[in-house]
């Protein structure tokens, strides 16, 4: 590998490229999946089971993936994520029964490319820059999220759903090549050399960051390690609680959106892609530009989290009264902005609450919470959508975020 590519800036750039390609491939297939399942007469409840299968499989692999990255290097972990994505999309493209569609979800146990990229960015950035850096990673993901649904929708319109899955599989192979060719394995050690000592010696507002004693363990599966990182870490424990409660309504809505677009708003595949792309643009701008600007303006992490919860509460209240797609797109603006700020800042605070040697593990735990939410969300979403209608998604969001906002205000979080 050329020595110049070991430069921090170029490694970060290549990581962003990989994230954009990963998101492109993921959203190509996620936008076409409901249309593929429709050809097999899959109802909303069964589709919910399919989404639950995907989330449960990712839940089982997430913490192991993060710990694997801490022990064996972020490059190897990221490559495994893309290989898993290739296998999943290939099986989806070859699917000729509902069973094979369910089978295609199994390789996703280690399909954690975004998590792997966050591990690399965390390795190479100082704590005080973490929210901004992770937010910019979301900008790259947003590029793929914008283009993916459009590519998937157009491919479905002019070819078929299987071709869209094969395109996603090919893109994942390209990512494997880029990772092994341009990203060094020991990014954690590189980050230590440049930033770790500086972070520990500084007296800025994040001076307590990354000072949790490193858990002395070389085991891939170590329950005591995870207890130390979460249960004995009050900052991480509280953040995971906030993430879980606030994440339930958005997880339910997200898991069923394609079915909502198809059965409630009656959107064609290409129009569904445009709506998802619109949401992606909002998320991309928020994470890439707004989060960094807010942190540089002096807003604390806690203030950003609390404000985001309040805005989510209002947004879900408005969602309950939406009757057409134009109103939905309008309500999505504050909802996506608040959700993007919330998730970015929470993830950054999680990495700053542990030692640098354990950041991969805590990212894995954080992503596992996300997967846990997704594992139950499709079943909940399929049930409430089928029996209570679209309005129930807004009511659920009001209840969860309203209770959470009261909690953070009363406890002075």
Q: Is residue 13 part of a domain?
A: yes
Q: Is residue 86 part of a domain?
A: yes
Q: Is residue 204 part of a domain?
A: no
For 333-389, how does the pLDDT look when each residue is reduced to its tens digit (9 = 90+)? 999 999 999 999 998 898 888 887 788 888 888 888 887 887 788 788 888 988 888
Q: DSSP per residue over 313-377, as a string?
A: HHHHHHHTT--SHHHHHHHHHHHHHHHHHHHHHHHHHHHHTS-GGGHHHHHHHHHHHHHHHHHHH
Range of the domain at 34: 3-187+221-410
pLDDT of residue 4: 45
Q: Is residue 256 part of a domain?
A: yes
Q: Is residue 211 part of a domain?
A: no
pLDDT of residue 359: 83
Question: Is 137:13 a contact under the CB 8 Å cutoff?
Answer: no
Q: Is residue 197 part of a domain?
A: no
SS3 for 330-343 is: HHHHHHHHHHHHHH
pLDDT of residue 239: 92
Q: Is residue 95 part of a domain?
A: yes
Q: How far are the Cα atoms of 5, 10, 76, 77, 183 from residue 186, in angstroms, in the given order? A: 13, 15, 10, 11, 9
The model's pTM? 0.77
Q: How far apart are CA 52 and CA 50, in angstroms?
A: 5
Question: Which has the closest alpha carbon to 40: 85, 100, 88, 87?
Answer: 100
| Cα distance between the two ends of the chain | 47
pLDDT of residue 191: 58
How many structural domains comprise the chain?
1
Question: Which has the closest alpha carbon to 264: 190, 323, 218?
Answer: 323
DSSP 220: S
Q: Is residue 196 part of a domain?
A: no
For 167-212, how does the pLDDT look when each residue is reduced to its tens digit (9 = 90+)? 999 999 999 999 998 888 777 766 555 554 554 444 444 444 444 4
The b/e string for 61-98 (b: 16+ C-beta within 10 A; e otherwise) is: bbbbbbbbbbbebbbbbbbbbbbbbbbbbbbbbebeee
- List the CATH number of the domain containing 275: 1.20.1250.20
Q: What sections of 40-160 are H helices per DSSP?
A: 44-72, 74-94, 98-103, 113-124, 130-158
Question: Is 343:286 a contact under the CB 8 Å cutoff?
Answer: no
User: Which residues does the chain have with pLDDT short of 50?
Assistant: 1-5, 196, 199-213, 215
pLDDT of residue 378: 78
């Amino acid at each position: 590998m050329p020595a110049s590519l070991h430069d921090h800036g170029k490694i970060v750039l290549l990581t962003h490229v990989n994230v954009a390609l990963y998101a492109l491939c993921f959203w190509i297939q996620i936008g076409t999946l409901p249309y593929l399942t429709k050809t097999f007469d899959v109802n909303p409840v069964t589709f919910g089971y399919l989404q639950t299968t995907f989330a449960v499989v990712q839940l089982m692999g997430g913490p192991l993936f993060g710990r694997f990255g801490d022990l064996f290097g972020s490059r190897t972990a990221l490559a495994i994520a893309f290989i898993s994505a290739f296998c999943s999309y290939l099986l989806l493209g070859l699917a000729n029964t509902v069973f094979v569609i369910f089978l295609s979800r199994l390789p996703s146990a280690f399909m954690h490319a975004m998590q792997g990229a966050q591990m690399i960015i965390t390795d190479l950035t100082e704590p005080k820059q973490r929210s901004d850096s992770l937010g910019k990673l979301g900008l790259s993901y947003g590029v793929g999220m914008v283009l993916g649904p459009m590519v998937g929708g157009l491919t479905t319109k002019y070819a078929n759903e299987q071709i869209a899955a094969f395109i996603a599989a090919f893109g994942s192979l390209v990512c494997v090549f880029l990772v092994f060719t341009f990203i060094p394995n020991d990014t954690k050690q590189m980050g230590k050399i440049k930033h770790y000592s500086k972070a520990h010696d500084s007296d800025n507002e994040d001076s307590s960051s990354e000072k949790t004693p490193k858990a002395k363990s070389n085991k891939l599966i170590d329950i005591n390690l995870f207890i130390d990182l979460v249960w004995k870490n009050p900052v991480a424990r509280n953040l995971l609680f906030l993430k879980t409660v606030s994440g339930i309504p958005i997880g339910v809505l997200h898991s069923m959106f394609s079915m909502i677009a198809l059965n409630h708003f009656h959107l064609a595949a290409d129009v569904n892609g445009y709506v998802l792309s619109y949401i992606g643009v909002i998320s991309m701008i928020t994470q890439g530009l707004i989060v960094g600007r807010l942190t540089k303006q002096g807003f604390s992490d806690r203030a950003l989290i609390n404000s985001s919860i309040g805005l989510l509460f209002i947004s879900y209240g408005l969602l309950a009264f939406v009757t057409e797609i134009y109103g939905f797109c309008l309500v999505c603006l504050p909802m996506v902005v608040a959700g993007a700020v919330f998730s970015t800042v929470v993830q950054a605070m999680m990495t700053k609450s542990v030692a640098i040697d354990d950041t991969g593990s805590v990212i894995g735990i954080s992503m596992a919470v996300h997967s846990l939410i997704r594992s139950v969300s499709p079943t909940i979403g399929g049930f409430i959508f089928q029996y209570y209608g679209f309005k129930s998604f807004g009511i659920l969001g009001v209840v969860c975020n309203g209770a959470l906002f009261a909690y953070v205000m009363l406890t002075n979080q």
